[in-house]
Chain A
Amino acid sequence: MQRFVGLVALIIFGAPAAWAQKVPVTSYTLENGMEVVVIEDNRAPIVTHMLWYRVGAADEPAGKSGIAHFLEHLLFKGTEAVPDGTFSEVIEANGGNDNAFTSQDYTAYFQQVAVDRLPLMMEMEADRMRGLILDDAAMLTERDVVLEERALRTDSDPGSLFSEQRNAAQFLNHPYGTPVIGWLDEVNALTLQDALDFYNLYYAPNNAVLVVAGDVEPEAVYALAQQYYGPLAPSEGIQKRLRPQEPPQRAARRITYRDARVATPYVIRSYLAANRQSGSQTEAAALSLLADVLGGGGITSLLGQRLQIEEDIALSSGAFYSGLSYDPDTFGMYVVPKPDVALEDAEARLDATLEFLIENGVDARRLARSKATLLADEIYAMDSQQGLARRYGAALTSGLTVEDVAAWPDILQAVTEDDILQAARDVLDIRRSVTGYLMGEKETSQ
């Protein structure tokens, strides 16, 4: 009886496209070049207002690593209308929550608030797009905060330090090899002028995407966006983002990082891989499903089933691929071996699993389960207003369009076993890989 349940689930999911239209999304471009995306979610009188800039750490000048993220902190320091670091204070006085985040490809600011406060959010966000006022005292204190943030997130965590080293090894030439928070010595030397130069160049309506999700009407949002953001002058200096690209990788790279704080060693492998391209997302979709059948969903994936259940050598395992980046990024996988298993043996079993996949193909039921999970994810995604807003903001600042985002679930469902195997053969080339061992100081390598 159990063998047939998969079919039942797939029948229930008979119409993959039906739910996709249930997220009502509309978009619009203001005359000054700013894109506006509206996502309707009328379950509660709440709105999420997010302003995304098409600039991130990968756009920083050489030697100024961390400036995109540091500027994100400084944007809360004040303008003429909202002076002395009172931005968040005004949001809080209106019962709202606010924050911001920076990645390699974007910098985003958001507030969640009662829907009748949307005009105020726009007024304040538009105000700090062009009107930031900074002084040295505020800058220096905030730089210390950022250094503490780096100490917390990176220097206190051997896994993060290892990740930083792996990325640096993966990208010889592309700025994705530099950490978003910046190298310690470079962050320490950032100046007020560095922040202002970056701000003046990149913070402009023609480099921004506004995403509003919540209990709103698209027409009303457009009218408000026109009123508050419309008068802002575009920046003349915005160019198409052309970052230094990776040269062909011809030799596998290996790194070992030892740290006394590591209690659970693991091996992790990454390969350079294509990203989602506007109008051409098929390869990325195949890689997404490859990651899922290989290492998504714990013990049901191929790696989980072989290494955790059948061979019983691993505590956990997985594969990862996002595809959502402006430039090509990586496809990766990891194995956390049981304490009595050496990293070399774990790596050998990982490679054997990859060979098995390429030789034997993808089990049809495993692929069907992956697709069913992706469909369910789409329904659950509708339960998160902020999650939906982030999905569109991240895509639009990574070179994709609203149409690409809407098409993505169907493209995923259309992936075939052949697509996955082709993607696996293309990407899983050891010469284009970085293999990393994270170890304590005591473990010996064999």
Chain B
Amino acid sequence: MIRIFATATVLLLAALPLRAATEIQEVTSPGGITAWLVQEPSIPMVALQFSFRGGASQDNPEKLGAINLMVGLLEEGAGPLSATRFAERSDELGARLRFSTGRDSVNISASMLTGNLDESVELLRLALIEPTFGETAFERVRGQVNSGLRSDATDPQAIAGNAFRAMTFPDHPYGLSTDGTLETIANLTPDDMRAAHRNTLGRNNVYIGVVGDISPETLGELLDTLLGALPDDISDAVADVQPLLETGTTVIDFDTPQSVVVFSQPGLKRDDPDYLAAYVLNHIVGGRSSTARLTVEVREKRGLTYGISSFLLPYQHAALYMGGFSSGNETVSEAVSLVQTEWAKLAAEGVTAAELETAKRYLTGAYPLRFDGNAAIAGILAGLQVAELPITYIAERNALVDAVTLEEINRVAAELYQPEKLRFVIAGQPSE
């Protein structure tokens, strides 16, 4: 009875209205900085997401880790405020500022209370424009990064990931650690921080999403206050690269009861015309779904793992199709061969009409669930701009998913799945 009910209601999904889809405004400040805004007055807060394209991949290899350390120092002393005073001020204002460094972007998430907006913006402005990079804070934060690097050296997840990247991108920044190494970090100076700051954060490489209780006019002024003094000549020095991937398994011996597995083959860039079809395909194969093929084969039928998934990883300058799981040392080889078998089947046969239908229902129905908070929506708005998608994308996206045909998806499957390039890297002690 329930199953009948479930099927009967599926048709309603397409009608689900999504407020964020219809109400995104592109705001251009008097100074010419643009942002995407959704006005949401029901909570007295504003969520802002800033994504600066570039990220850790822009590091000079000899100064590896400089950008990550610089970003970590933005809130550790700025303008007239010491690191302590900056943190105290943030607490007093109830402002939440989060700084992080990715491979292709530097990201800043800020949540501010409407009642303290001007003061909170001033605090963030100091961090962005007038960071101090004082010697004491520099040493303290460098110590924290070092500690993270030492921990990575005994963490099977990091061991597998680092080894995978080094062999896949041997002569490219994507093969290196975003945090640097103990050696490169040791040689950095506060002047390196100033140089990294000058070359990373700009008006011309920032993408901004804003959601909350704020008018377009106020936002425009805010953007000029916040970002107006940043340079507008930030460039991207990284070259495109083909990942070096051949079939096979690399084992890195590490004494732990459960092996960590990373697997990968070449993927698709975000602007590839087949990207969306590949995205739907991956949902069927390795998405976070109880019916995904890898989950069914490795977890549900055999209990060989707690979780297995795969995902497209479209970097700015390369594209990977990646996946991962953990499995006991005695069972990991069986799990690896199940993934290989599935890959060969996909390359040869593709997916079924029923699988495509199920995936479409889930993906179109669940899309609105991502828009479940101001901070979440601000992140999506910035992400769409980084991906160079149009402002109408949210409204159109489900129709694009629905338009994927079986013929199309299976043509893409035949091209995408390359068992001869599927590489496994295992940290652990797998038994044969």
**Interface residues in chain A, defined as those with a beta carbon under 8 Å from any beta carbon in chain B:** 2, 5-6, 8-10, 12-13, 19, 22, 42-46, 76, 81-82, 85-86, 88-90, 92-97, 112-114, 116-117, 120, 123-124, 127, 140-149, 151-152, 155-156, 260-264, 297-300, 305, 308-309, 312, 315-316, 336, 338-339, 365, 368-370, 372-373, 375-377, 379-380, 382-386
Contacts of A123 in B (CB 8 A): 2, 5
Q: Would B18 and A120 count as touching, CB distance under 8 A? A: no
With A8-B119, A9-B92, A127-B2 as known contacts, state yes or no: A85 contacts B290, CB within 8 Å: yes
Contact across chains for A149 and B306 when beta carbons are under 8 A apart: yes
Q: Which residues of A contact B146 (CB under 8 A)?
A: 339
| B1 x A369 contact (CB < 8 A) | no
Per-residue CB contact flags for chain B residues 368-384 toward chain A (1 = under 8 Å, else 0) read 11011111000000000
- In Å, the complex CA distance between A147 and B305 comes to 9
* Contact present for A156 and B258 (CB under 8 Å): yes
Report which of B16, B87, B119, B375 forms a contact with A45, defined as CB distance below 8 A: B16
A148 and B328 within 8 A (CB): yes
Closest to B5 in A: A120
CB distance from B253 to the nearest CB of A (A): 13
Q: Find out whether the CB atom of B154 lies under 8 angstroms from the CB atom of A261.
A: yes
Tell me if A12 and B81 are in contact (CB < 8 A): no
CB distance from A333 to the nearest CB of B (A): 19
From known contacts A6-B92, A90-B6, A379-B45, infer whether A97 and B84 are also in contact, taking CB-CB under 8 Å: no
Assembly CA distance A385 to B84 (angstroms): 33
State in angstroms the CA–CA spacing of A42 and B42 once bound together.
9
A81 in complex: contacting residue of B1, B154, B366, CB < 8 Å: B1
Q: Is the CB of B94 within 8 A of A9?
A: yes
Q: Give the residue among B299, B328, B369 with the most A Cβ atoms within 10 A.
A: B369
Partner pick for A90 among B3, B17, B373, CB 8 A cutoff:
B3
CB-CB under 8 A from B177, the residues of chain A are none
- A to B CB contacts below 8 Å, 20 in the list: A10-B92, A13-B115, A42-B42, A44-B371, A81-B2, A93-B358, A95-B361, A95-B368, A114-B369, A116-B9, A120-B5, A145-B306, A146-B306, A149-B306, A151-B306, A263-B154, A300-B87, A315-B147, A369-B88, A376-B95
Nearest Cβ in chain A — how far from B229, in angstroms?
Answer: 21
Task: Place the interface of chain B in its size category.
Answer: 35 or more
Chain B, residue nearest A1 (CB): B80
B155-176 contact mask (Cβ, 8 Å, vs A): 1 or 0: 1100000000000000000000
Flag whether B393 is at the interface (Cβ < 8 A).
no
Q: Is the CB–CB distance between A383 and B373 below 8 Å?
A: yes
Q: How far is the CA of A416 from the CA of B371 in the complex (A)?
A: 40
Complex formed: what's the CA distance from A86 to B368 in Å?
23
Q: Would you call B143 an interface residue if the criterion is a C-beta within 8 Å of the partner chain's C-beta atoms?
A: yes
Residue of B6, B93, B374 near A120 (CB, 8 A) is B6
Partner of B302, one of A93, A141, A312: A141
| Contacts of B1-17 to chain A: CB distance below 8 A | 1-3, 5-7, 9-10, 12-13, 16-17
CA distance A124 to B113 in the complex (A): 40
Asked if B303 contacts A93 (CB within 8 A), the reply is no
Compute how far the CA of A113 lies from the CA of B16 in the bound complex, rounded to whole angstroms.
11
Chain A residues with Cβ below 8 Å from B326 are 148, 151-152, 156
Question: Would you give the 0/1 interface string for B348-366, flagging 1 where the beta carbon is closer than 8 Å to chain A?
Answer: 0000000000100111111
Query: Residues of A contacting B375 with CB < 8 Å?
Result: 383
Inter-subunit contact A5/B44 (CB<8 Å): no
Chain A residues with CB under 8 A of B397: none
Residues in A neighbouring B20, C-beta threshold 8 A = 44
Q: Is the CB of B255 within 8 A of A92?
A: no
For residues 239 through 256 of chain B, which have their beta carbon under 8 Å from a beta carbon of chain A?
Answer: 255-256
**Would A141 and B328 count as touching, CB distance under 8 A?**
no
User: Cα distance A299–B81 when bound, in Å?
Assistant: 14
What is the distance, in angstroms, from B284's C-beta to the closest C-beta of chain A? 12
Additional 15 contacts, C-beta under 8 A, given A120-B6, A148-B328, A369-B92:
A9-B94, A13-B94, A44-B371, A46-B368, A92-B358, A93-B10, A95-B368, A113-B369, A114-B16, A124-B2, A156-B326, A264-B147, A299-B84, A365-B88, A379-B45
CA distance A148 to B255 in the complex (A): 17
Please name the residue on chain B nearest to A124 by beta carbon.
Answer: B2
B113: which A residues are within 8 A, CB to CB? Answer: 12, 376, 379
In the bound complex, how far is the Cα of B43 from the Cα of A339, in angstroms? 44
Q: Are B84 and A373 in contact (CB-based, < 8 A)? A: no
Contacts of A298 in B (CB 8 A): 87
Of listed B45, B87, B361, residue having the most chain A CB within 10 A? B87
Q: Do B303 and A151 touch (CB < 8 A)? A: no
A141 and B303 contact, Cβ closer than 8 Å, known pairs A262-B154, A385-B372: yes
Question: Taking the complex as formed, is B144 at the interface, i.e. its CB lies under 8 A from any CB of chain A?
Answer: yes
B92:A145 contact, CB within 8 angstroms: no
Contact in complex: A82, B2 (CB < 8 Å)? yes
Contacts of B47 in A (CB 8 A): 383
Given contacts A2-B81, A120-B2, whether A96 and B365 have CB atoms under 8 Å apart is yes
Taking the closest CB of chain A, its distance from the CB of B232, in whole angstroms, is 32
- List the A side residues contacting B421 at CB < 8 Å: none
Q: Which residue of A lies closest to B88 (CB)?
A: A300
**A372 and B9: CB pair below 8 A?**
no
- Kindly state the separation between the CA atoms of A43 and B40 in the bound complex, as whole angstroms: 8
Chain A nearest Cβ from B83, distance in angstroms: 6
CB distance from A153 to the nearest CB of B (A): 8
Q: How far is the CA of A116 from the CA of B154 in the complex (A)?
A: 48
Across the two chains, which residue of chain A brings its CB closest to B254? A261
B154 engages A96 (CB within 8 Å): no
Which one, B42, B94, B143, B155, contacts A372 given CB within 8 A? B94
Q: Judge whether B327 is part of the interface by a CB distance below 8 angstroms.
A: yes
A46 & B84 in contact (Cβ 8 Å cutoff):
no
Q: Which of A263, A373, A380, A384 contacts B153 (CB 8 A)?
A: A263
Residue numbers in A under 8 Å from B361 (CB-CB): 92-95
Q: How far is the CA of A298 from the CA of B5 in the complex (A)?
A: 51
CB A91 to nearest CB in B, in angstroms, measures 9
Q: Which residue of B lies closest to A292 (CB)?
A: B91
* Shortest Cβ distance from residue A307 to the other chain B in the assembled complex, whole angstroms: 11
Q: A123 vs B3: C-alpha distance in the bound complex, in angstroms?
A: 11
Most buried by B among A2, A260, A316: A2
Q: Which of B95, B143, B372 contacts A315 (CB 8 A)?
A: B143
Q: Give the nearest-CB partner of A305 in chain B.
A: B84
B5 contacts across to A, CB distance below 8 A: 120, 123
What's the least CB distance linking A116 to chain B, in Å? 6
Contact assessment for A152 and B303 in the assembled complex, using a CB-CB cutoff below 8 Å: no
* Residues of chain B lying within 8 A (CB to CB) of residue A155: 257-258
Q: How far is the CA of A338 from the CA of B306 in the complex (A)?
A: 35
**Nearest chain B CB to A173 CB, angstrom units:** 30
Q: Do the beta carbons of A383 and B374 come within 8 Å of each other?
A: yes
CB pair A156 B257 closer than 8 Å: yes
Closest beta carbon of chain B to A10's beta carbon, Å: 8
Residues of chain B within 8 A of A146, CB atoms compared: 306
Give the Cβ gap from A379 to chain B, nearest Cβ, in Å: 6
B19: which of A43, A95, A148 is its contact (CB, 8 Å)?
A43
* Option from B12, B45, B257, B364 in Cβ contact (under 8 Å) with A383: B45
Q: Across the interface, name the chain B residue whose C-beta is closest to A261.
A: B154
Q: How far is the CA of A297 from the CA of B95 in the complex (A)?
A: 12
Q: Is the CB of A148 within 8 A of B305?
A: yes
Pairwise interchain contact B290-A92, C-beta atoms closer than 8 A: yes
Chain A positions within 8 Å of B374 at CB level: 383
Q: How far is the CB of A84 from chain B (nearest CB, A)?
A: 10
Distance between A380 CB and nearest chain B CB, rounded to angstroms:
6
Q: Of all chain B residues, which has the CB nearest A90?
A: B6
